[in-house]
Amino acid sequence: MKYFFFVFFFFCIYILYEGLQKDPNLVPSNLISKEIPEFSIESLEGKNFTNVDLENKEVVILNFFASWCPPCKIEHPQLLKLSNNIPIFGIAKKNKKKDLLPWLEELGSPYEVIGMDHNGLQSINWGVYGLPETFIIQDGLVRYRHVGPIMKSDLEIFKNLTKKK
Protein backbone atom coordinates (compact mmCIF):
# COMPACT_ATOMS: atom_id res chain seq x y z
CA MET A 1 0.00 0.00 0.00
CA LYS A 2 2.76 2.37 1.05
CA TYR A 3 4.81 1.57 -2.04
CA PHE A 4 1.84 1.81 -4.31
CA PHE A 5 1.24 5.28 -2.97
CA PHE A 6 4.77 6.43 -3.65
CA VAL A 7 4.73 4.97 -7.14
CA PHE A 8 1.53 6.90 -7.81
CA PHE A 9 3.08 10.04 -6.37
CA PHE A 10 6.13 9.88 -8.60
CA PHE A 11 3.97 9.01 -11.56
CA CYS A 12 2.04 12.27 -11.05
CA ILE A 13 5.24 14.28 -10.72
CA TYR A 14 6.56 12.64 -13.89
CA ILE A 15 3.41 13.60 -15.81
CA LEU A 16 3.68 17.18 -14.61
CA TYR A 17 7.32 17.17 -15.71
CA GLU A 18 6.42 15.84 -19.15
CA GLY A 19 3.67 18.42 -19.36
CA LEU A 20 6.24 21.15 -18.89
CA GLN A 21 7.89 20.18 -22.16
CA LYS A 22 4.68 20.60 -24.14
CA ASP A 23 3.34 23.81 -25.55
CA PRO A 24 -0.24 24.23 -24.33
CA ASN A 25 -1.07 26.69 -27.10
CA LEU A 26 -0.54 24.23 -29.93
CA VAL A 27 -3.79 22.89 -31.34
CA PRO A 28 -3.57 19.94 -33.76
CA SER A 29 -5.77 19.94 -36.85
CA ASN A 30 -8.73 17.63 -36.90
CA LEU A 31 -8.64 17.26 -40.66
CA ILE A 32 -5.37 15.32 -40.95
CA SER A 33 -5.75 12.16 -43.11
CA LYS A 34 -9.31 13.10 -43.91
CA GLU A 35 -10.84 14.10 -47.18
CA ILE A 36 -10.81 17.81 -47.79
CA PRO A 37 -14.10 19.56 -47.06
CA GLU A 38 -16.39 20.41 -49.94
CA PHE A 39 -16.54 24.06 -50.86
CA SER A 40 -17.29 26.39 -53.69
CA ILE A 41 -16.25 30.02 -53.54
CA GLU A 42 -15.57 32.89 -55.86
CA SER A 43 -11.99 33.33 -56.99
CA LEU A 44 -10.16 36.62 -57.39
CA GLU A 45 -10.86 36.56 -61.13
CA GLY A 46 -14.55 36.01 -60.46
CA LYS A 47 -14.55 32.34 -61.44
CA ASN A 48 -15.57 29.36 -59.34
CA PHE A 49 -13.04 27.77 -57.05
CA THR A 50 -14.06 24.38 -55.62
CA ASN A 51 -12.62 21.38 -53.83
CA VAL A 52 -12.40 19.57 -57.20
CA ASP A 53 -9.63 21.98 -58.22
CA LEU A 54 -7.55 20.72 -55.30
CA GLU A 55 -8.43 17.05 -55.69
CA ASN A 56 -7.32 16.94 -59.31
CA LYS A 57 -3.68 17.50 -58.46
CA GLU A 58 -1.33 14.99 -56.89
CA VAL A 59 0.17 17.34 -54.28
CA VAL A 60 -0.98 20.88 -53.63
CA ILE A 61 -0.51 23.49 -50.96
CA LEU A 62 -3.44 25.50 -49.70
CA ASN A 63 -2.54 28.70 -47.92
CA PHE A 64 -4.90 30.86 -45.86
CA PHE A 65 -3.76 34.44 -45.78
CA ALA A 66 -4.84 38.07 -45.94
CA SER A 67 -3.21 41.30 -46.95
CA TRP A 68 -4.01 42.78 -43.53
CA CYS A 69 -2.08 40.08 -41.68
CA PRO A 70 1.55 41.10 -40.99
CA PRO A 71 2.97 37.55 -40.47
CA CYS A 72 1.61 36.63 -43.92
CA LYS A 73 4.13 39.05 -45.35
CA ILE A 74 6.90 37.25 -43.51
CA GLU A 75 6.13 33.89 -45.08
CA HIS A 76 5.61 35.27 -48.57
CA PRO A 77 9.17 34.75 -49.91
CA GLN A 78 9.04 31.11 -48.76
CA LEU A 79 5.76 30.58 -50.61
CA LEU A 80 7.24 32.07 -53.75
CA LYS A 81 10.14 29.64 -53.48
CA LEU A 82 7.80 26.67 -52.95
CA SER A 83 5.58 27.66 -55.87
CA ASN A 84 8.38 26.73 -58.30
CA ASN A 85 7.79 23.05 -57.62
CA ILE A 86 4.29 22.70 -56.22
CA PRO A 87 1.03 24.38 -57.17
CA ILE A 88 -0.10 26.71 -54.38
CA PHE A 89 -3.70 27.75 -53.93
CA GLY A 90 -4.65 30.61 -51.67
CA ILE A 91 -7.73 31.59 -49.74
CA ALA A 92 -7.81 35.23 -48.71
CA LYS A 93 -9.78 35.74 -45.52
CA LYS A 94 -11.99 38.80 -45.17
CA ASN A 95 -10.00 40.61 -47.82
CA LYS A 96 -11.30 43.28 -50.19
CA LYS A 97 -10.10 43.10 -53.79
CA LYS A 98 -8.83 46.66 -53.71
CA ASP A 99 -6.55 45.84 -50.76
CA LEU A 100 -5.41 42.48 -52.07
CA LEU A 101 -4.44 43.45 -55.62
CA PRO A 102 -1.79 46.07 -54.71
CA TRP A 103 -0.42 43.70 -52.06
CA LEU A 104 0.07 40.97 -54.65
CA GLU A 105 1.47 43.49 -57.10
CA GLU A 106 4.09 44.52 -54.60
CA LEU A 107 5.13 41.08 -53.39
CA GLY A 108 4.37 38.88 -56.40
CA SER A 109 1.82 36.10 -56.42
CA PRO A 110 2.75 32.48 -55.71
CA TYR A 111 -0.88 31.43 -56.11
CA GLU A 112 -2.47 29.61 -59.04
CA VAL A 113 -5.93 30.55 -57.85
CA ILE A 114 -6.99 32.75 -54.97
CA GLY A 115 -10.37 32.09 -53.39
CA MET A 116 -12.12 34.98 -51.71
CA ASP A 117 -13.42 34.11 -48.27
CA HIS A 118 -15.43 37.26 -47.74
CA ASN A 119 -17.20 36.37 -44.52
CA GLY A 120 -14.57 34.09 -42.97
CA LEU A 121 -16.84 31.04 -43.03
CA GLN A 122 -14.61 29.08 -45.41
CA SER A 123 -11.83 29.34 -42.85
CA ILE A 124 -14.07 27.72 -40.27
CA ASN A 125 -14.84 24.99 -42.78
CA TRP A 126 -11.14 24.20 -42.77
CA GLY A 127 -10.70 24.54 -39.02
CA VAL A 128 -8.48 27.58 -39.39
CA TYR A 129 -8.09 29.56 -36.18
CA GLY A 130 -5.45 32.14 -37.03
CA LEU A 131 -3.62 33.52 -40.03
CA PRO A 132 -1.58 32.34 -41.81
CA GLU A 133 -2.25 28.61 -41.93
CA THR A 134 -1.04 26.23 -44.58
CA PHE A 135 -2.31 22.79 -45.61
CA ILE A 136 -0.57 20.17 -47.71
CA ILE A 137 -3.10 18.15 -49.68
CA GLN A 138 -2.21 14.86 -51.35
CA ASP A 139 -4.72 13.01 -53.53
CA GLY A 140 -7.58 14.89 -51.96
CA LEU A 141 -6.49 14.07 -48.40
CA VAL A 142 -5.16 16.57 -45.87
CA ARG A 143 -1.63 15.53 -45.12
CA TYR A 144 -0.21 18.27 -42.92
CA ARG A 145 -1.14 21.58 -41.37
CA HIS A 146 1.24 24.37 -40.49
CA VAL A 147 0.13 27.15 -38.15
CA GLY A 148 1.78 30.55 -38.32
CA PRO A 149 4.19 31.89 -40.92
CA ILE A 150 6.38 29.41 -42.83
CA MET A 151 9.91 30.41 -41.91
CA LYS A 152 13.06 29.57 -43.85
CA SER A 153 13.74 26.79 -41.37
CA ASP A 154 10.37 25.21 -42.16
CA LEU A 155 11.07 24.92 -45.88
CA GLU A 156 12.85 21.58 -45.44
CA ILE A 157 9.74 20.00 -43.89
CA PHE A 158 7.60 21.28 -46.72
CA LYS A 159 9.97 20.01 -49.38
CA ASN A 160 10.06 16.56 -47.83
CA LEU A 161 6.32 16.34 -47.47
CA THR A 162 5.54 17.51 -50.97
CA LYS A 163 7.96 15.20 -52.79
CA LYS A 164 6.13 13.58 -55.65
CA LYS A 165 5.90 9.82 -55.52
The smaller minimum CB distance to another protein, of residues 122 and 162, is found at: 122
Query: Is residue 7 a contact residue for another protein (CB under 8 A)?
Result: no
List 39, 49, 64, 126, residue binding another protein (CB under 8 A):
126
Rounded CA-CA distance 42/121 in Å is 13
Regarding 22 and contact with another protein (CB under 8 A), the answer is yes
Q: Which among 7-15, 52-60, 76-84, 150-158 is the span making contact with another protein, rule CB under 8 A? A: 7-15
**127: CB partners within 8 A, 6+ apart:** 29, 30, 31
Which uninterrupted H or E stretch holds 74?
helix 70-82
Positive or negative, the CA dihedral 113, 114, 119, 120 is positive
Q: Check residue 8 for interaction with another protein (CB under 8 A).
A: no
In this chain, which of 40, 48, 50, 119 binds another protein, going by CB under 8 A?
119
**What distance in Å separates the CA atoms of residue 21 and residue 46, rounded to the nearest whole number?**
47
CB–CB of 34/145 below 8 Å?
no
Q: How far is the CB of 133 from another protein (least distance, A)?
A: 11
148 binds another protein (CB under 8 A): no
Q: What residues line the site for another protein (CB under 8 A)?
A: 2, 5-6, 9, 13, 15-22, 24-31, 37, 119-121, 123-127, 129-130
